Amino acid sequence: MSVDHPVTPDGRYFVVRGRLWRLSDPSLSETQRDALVKRLMTARRSVKQAKHADDPSAEAAAHAEVDVVKRLLGERGPVWWDDGAPDLNRHMARNTPYADWFAAL
């Protein structure tokens, strides 16, 4: 993944405007990840199209597909690491164990 944002030293999150966002599961093969990212982009386009068409039903279905794919990527749902560390997705980095690392950037 080409990331234009800082990535935590453990490779679990990237940071945007001070907030942690979970990265995809690194155990996914390149082929799996590429297919899921294509599926995600299609779902996101569907969200945009449904909003433009003012179709709440289609928009809800498209959002549901985005959620399914993000879970398959490991960006939502159960964490992909197994050391017992909590999921800090969407937390402000300054309020997490990454605070010193983030402050030093």
Residues 48-58 pLDDT 10s: 999 999 999 99
Integer distance in angstroms from the first to the last C-alpha of the chain? 20
pLDDT of 1: 47
- Answer yes or no: is pLDDT of 2 > 80: no
The mean per-residue pLDDT over the stretch 13-18 comes to: 97
Q: Residues of the chain with pLDDT > 90: what percent?
A: 96
Instruction: Locate the domains of the chain by residue range.
Output: 1-23+87-105, 29-74
Rounded Cα distance between 41 and 60, Å, is 16
